[in-house]
């Protein structure tokens, strides 16, 4: 079983729509969780950290469910510029980072 699993998508949504997707992780001892954004043929960039109580950054909302071992990302009022691959990143207690394969989101006009 992969350490971090994501639905690859693609999620094709119209502008203004809400899109949400999850990421599951296998190591129950994982400490920290992040969402990174990766544009085609570019390096990943930190979108947001995910906190236990859930957190929001503008149109983006991240949630953590430790019991079920998943994190989620919700994008409200989608913009064309939100089109990208979203990587779920999990840090274990030995500071090892594990990456999901990414979820592709395409926002259409």
Partner 1 sequence: GAVVSQHPSWVICKSGTSVKIECRSLDFQATTMFWYRQFPKQSLMLMATSNEGSKATYEQGVEKDKFLINHASLTLSTLTVTSAHPEDSSFYICSARYMNTGELFFGEGSRLTVL
Could you list the residues that contact partner 1 (CB under 8 A)? 4, 8, 41-46, 87, 96-97, 99-102
Cβ closer to partner 1: 10 or 14? 10
Cβ closer to partner 1: 64 or 88? 88
Closest approach of partner 1 to the CB of residue 15, in Å:
25
Closest approach of partner 1 to the CB of residue 77, in Å:
25
Spatial separation of the C-alpha atoms in residues 92 and 82, rounded to whole Å: 28
Closest approach of partner 1 to the CB of residue 54, in Å:
20
Cβ closer to partner 1: 19 or 88? 88
Tally of CA atoms within 13 A in the half-sphere of 88 that contains its CB: 29
- Strand segments, DSSP code E, in 1-109 are 4-6, 11-14, 19-25, 32-38, 45-50, 55-57, 60-65, 70-75, 84-91, 97-99, 103-108
Closest approach of partner 1 to the CB of residue 18, in Å:
25
Tally of CA atoms within 13 A in the half-sphere of 34 that contains its CB: 16
Cβ closer to partner 1: 37 or 61? 37
């Amino acid at each position: 079983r992969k350490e971090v699993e994501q639905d690859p998508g693609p999620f094709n949504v119209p502008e203004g729509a809400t899109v949400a997707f999850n990421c599951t992780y296998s190591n129950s001892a994982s400490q920290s969780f992040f969402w990174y954004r990766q544009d085609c043929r570019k390096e990943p960039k930190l979108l947001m950290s995910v906190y236990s109580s859930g957190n929001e950054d503008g149109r983006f909302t991240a949630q953590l469910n430790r019991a079920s071992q998943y994190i989620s990302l919700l994008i409200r009022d989608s913009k064309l510029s939100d089109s990208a691959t979203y990587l779920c990143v999990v840090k274990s207690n030995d500071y090892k980072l594990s990456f999901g394969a990414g979820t592709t989101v395409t926002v259409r006009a």
